[in-house]
Structure 1
Amino acid sequence: MPRLLVCTDSYPPQLNGVSVVTAAMVTGLSARGWECAVLAPAYPPALTAPLSQPVTLRHVALPSRSLPAYPDVRLVWPPLRHARQIVRDFRPDVVHCATEFTVGWAGLRAARAYDVPVVTTHHTDFSRYCDAYGVPFLRPVVQRWLGRFHRRAHHTIAPSAAVERTRRAMHVGHTTVWGGGVDTTHFSPRHFSLLSRHRYAMGADFNFLHVGRLAPEKNVEFVLDAFAHLRNRFRDRRLRLIIAGAGPSERRLRERAGDDVMFLGAVDRERDLPALYASADGFVTASETETLGLVVLEAMASGLPVVACHAAGVGEHLDHARNGLAFAPGDMSGCVSAMSRLVADASLHERLRAGARAAAESMSTDRALDQLDALLRTVVGAAAVSYESSPSPLVMTPAR
């Protein structure tokens, strides 16, 4: 049975795209014959983020502290000692570093010390966050940091072709595009519920939904402004915007929103989110930094027409006028026009619902996990051949 050690700075119960994909990876690979161990931050008992934690045979939870401006984010002091210990004791065949922060870096260094092959994933292009946080001058520094991290791996996973091109520009070789897919059973039109429409006071309105972290890089202010313009166009229609998610920008966004905007906070991903997606009428996002856009895939799987910015990873699975409506980055009139078309054109709305579901079915999680299983086994096999050709047998002592 091959062994996989996952080193990540974000894991359940924390809720975000990285933790969701990483947890699905652990669960899916365990079902495919892998013995998995996880090195991740410890989360306080008070954190009740609605994301179940996959069961692993070995899960090392590292002492952590919250980021002052963003309590859900946990910071771990560079845990090289813990990483070396679990590599030495668990004896993984491959180490997967899902993040580039302290836990990911420790996993990378420990794996290299013991000559274990390393696979990294470039989930988030943090260099693109620099503009959103008002420090654009740091973008080249962050890019160099990311490039250095991934160049030290045996193989890098890119969530989209756009990310792969960026990695290659940084001279990161051995890259494979793998986005993790979407669970088309958990997220499905069959979860439509009149009870959910009543619960969220949707009524007979046309309800747009936004799901995601409420942080500057997600560009939620743009969505609020677009919805305000939309309301001015349709004064005779009842329209609402529902925002699911939490984050450091939540208070400021609530102050900016009108009476027709409902904030739900964090929504239970297992129990409530599927019905929320399937029971809404349209999905809207204006993020320009998504390497994959998992929430867009989940909306599509739920049969929800999508209005989204045609940028980064989202642009690769958003097919304009077939499974959603796209607008250019920063194009407010384009976003409002797309939202207006969904409200006014019932036949277009139904065509996009069908197209969205069909697109999601071609990107199922099961298919993606089969691909990942094959990739990791190839990496392990290549490393074994390399070790066999070495004049010295492999032993679990740190490499010099």
Structure 2
Amino acid sequence: MKIAIVTETFLPSTDGVVTRLTASIRYLMKEGHDVRVIAPDLGVYEFEGAKIDGVPARTLPFYRSKQFALPNSVVRKLLKAYDPDIVHVVNPAILGLSGVYYAEKLGYPMVASYHTNVATYLDYYHLSIFKGLIWWYFRKLHNKAALNLATSQTVQKELTKRGFHHVHVWQRGVDTDMFTPDKYDAEMRDRLSDGHPEKKLLLFVGRLAPEKEIEKIKSVLEESDEFVLAIVGDGPHRLALEKHFSGTNTFFTGYMHGEQLAKAYASSDVFVFPSTTETLGLVIMEAMASGLPLVAAKSGPTCEQVEDNYNGLLYDPENPADFTATVRQFEDETLRRRLAQSAHKEVSEMGWEGQSEQLLHFYQEVAGLEGNNEKAKLT
């Protein structure tokens, strides 16, 4: 089967979308399929046998820390030359507009997947007036696809309510070989805690942007001397955050990947996830696989992963004081250890194969190859 993936973000970028895509591509290649990726040109042109066709990219005024590819007719040429059995447009917005338009014009079966609550993010940038327009735009793009994928049941319900057609849940996955409590590293803990390894180490991992609500964590450090904080990641909000946390026991690491990131998780004590806007939160599963209990908001997608007082603690985002009070419960080491064990147990056997196999099933169904695996593997 020949599979074309048109995506707004890919390597060397590292976020939840890229992690999911690389895991899926690795599985599809192993199963004998041919995969071609069309993505912003960031200097990477191959991934484990899959060719990456780069589209010219540039920074945009509203997001200087990342490069985007604008709509481009080169997508038509690339799709026509490759002649895929299926086109998967990931998070269609800018480059994805070309993917949707040309896949339809050329008559290729199409799947689209929704990963980012852009309309909700507008509230954090004082652009709420445009939310209706954004929903209209994404609905128009996604409804060109024969099948739409959402990363949680909550998002599936939201998209269906807003008029998106044929929405299915793309199940969760996590690399349980990479992320494990066995990656604990004393040197990493000393670094992340800025020389205070005896204190309870709170960890945040993710893109540093206003919608992540990272500022909430400061009140914990101000109220309790038992905690230190490590913030792993980068993004447009970093300078503002460094200023906000100035004078507290907070250490900014910048981006971390692979073994270094796995060590960071496993060497920490509690994963803090203040955001209420996530469609999934892959970092939640990476933290759980690493044996970390969580503090997260009572929001739909998060509640599908975190069970209060079992593998983490949920705070009420409507109560400004509840986040701090919830994190401070982890001053009780017995509670922390109990929830840590449950968190690891919850995802210890998950892996990525299940979600990748499900994706292949969706591809075969949309391409009309369902039930004919030999035909589906033809390249």
Give me the TM-score of the superposition, normalised by structure 2: 0.92
For this pair of structures, how many residues does the alignment match? 369
2: CA distance, partners of 1:245 / 1:372: 28
1:209 aligns with 2:197: no
Name the counterpart of 2:255: 266
Residues 14 and 72 in structure 1, CA contact (< 8 A), matched pair in contact too: no
Name the counterpart of 1:322: 310
Residues 4 and 95 in structure 1, CA contact (< 8 A), matched pair in contact too: yes
2: CA distance, partners of 1:34 / 1:72: 34
Name the counterpart of 1:281: 269
CA separation of 1:363 and 1:329: change in aligned 2, threshold 3 A: farther
Superposition map of 1:159-178 within 5 A: 159-178=151-170
Question: Residue 300 of structure 2 aligns to a residue in which SS?
Answer: coil
Name the counterpart of 2:137: 145
Residues 10 and 39 in structure 2, CA contact (< 8 A), matched pair in contact too: yes
Alpha-carbon shift at residue 63 of structure 1 (Å): 0.9
Name the counterpart of 1:31: 30
Superposition map of 1:374-389 within 5 A: 374-381=361-368
- Residue in structure 2 matching 1:190, options 182, 189, 194: 182
User: C-alpha offsets along residues 209-248 of structure 1, whole Å, 9 cap, x if unaligned?
Assistant: 01111111111112223x23xx42x34x3x2011011111
Question: Residue 19 of structure 1 aligns to a residue in which SS?
Answer: helix
User: C-alpha offsets along residues 361-381 of structure 1, whole Å, 9 cap, x if unaligned?
Assistant: 354312211221222122222
**Structure 1: 5+ residue stretches without partners:** 46-51, 386-400
- Residue in structure 2 matching 1:112, options 100, 104, 122: 104
1: CA distance, partners of 2:368 / 2:196: 53
- Residue in structure 2 matching 1:99, options 85, 91, 101: 91
Alpha-carbon shift at residue 180 of structure 1 (Å): 4.2
Q: What is the percent sequence identity of the aligned residues? A: 29
**Structure 2: 5+ residue stretches without partners:** 373-379
CA separation of 1:384 and 1:374: change in aligned 2, threshold 3 A: closer
2: CA distance, partners of 1:365 / 1:286: 25
Residues 317 and 323 in structure 2, CA contact (< 8 A), matched pair in contact too: no
2: CA distance, partners of 1:33 / 1:355: 37
Name the counterpart of 2:40: 41
- Residue in structure 2 matching 1:243, options 219, 225, 231: 231
Residues 29 and 50 in structure 2, CA contact (< 8 A), matched pair in contact too: no
Question: Residue 335 of structure 1 aligns to a residue in which SS?
Answer: helix
Residues 216 and 323 in structure 2, CA contact (< 8 A), matched pair in contact too: no
- Residue in structure 1 matching 2:53, options 34, 57, 60: 60
2: CA distance, partners of 1:24 / 1:330: 36
Alpha-carbon shift at residue 331 of structure 1 (Å): 2.7
Alpha-carbon shift at residue 382 of structure 1 (Å): 6.0
CA separation of 1:99 and 1:330: change in aligned 2, threshold 3 A: same
Residues 310 and 318 in structure 1, CA contact (< 8 A), matched pair in contact too: no
Give me the TM-score of the superposition, normalised by structure 1: 0.87
Alpha-carbon shift at residue 32 of structure 1 (Å): 2.1
Residues 361 and 370 in structure 2, CA contact (< 8 A), matched pair in contact too: no
Question: Residue 168 of structure 1 aligns to a residue in which SS?
Answer: helix
Question: Residue 209 of structure 1 aligns to a residue in which SS?
Answer: strand
Name the counterpart of 1:9: 8
Name the counterpart of 1:393: none
Name the counterpart of 2:358: 371
Residues 90 and 113 in structure 2, CA contact (< 8 A), matched pair in contact too: yes
Residues 6 and 87 in structure 2, CA contact (< 8 A), matched pair in contact too: yes
Alpha-carbon shift at residue 24 of structure 1 (Å): 2.0
CA separation of 1:379 and 1:362: change in aligned 2, threshold 3 A: farther
CA separation of 1:202 and 1:363: change in aligned 2, threshold 3 A: farther
Alpha-carbon shift at residue 15 of structure 1 (Å): 2.1
User: C-alpha offsets along residues 250-301 of structure 1, whole Å, 9 cap, x if unaligned?
Assistant: 111111113311111111x113000100110001011111000111111011
- Residue in structure 2 matching 1:85, options 77, 92, 99: 77
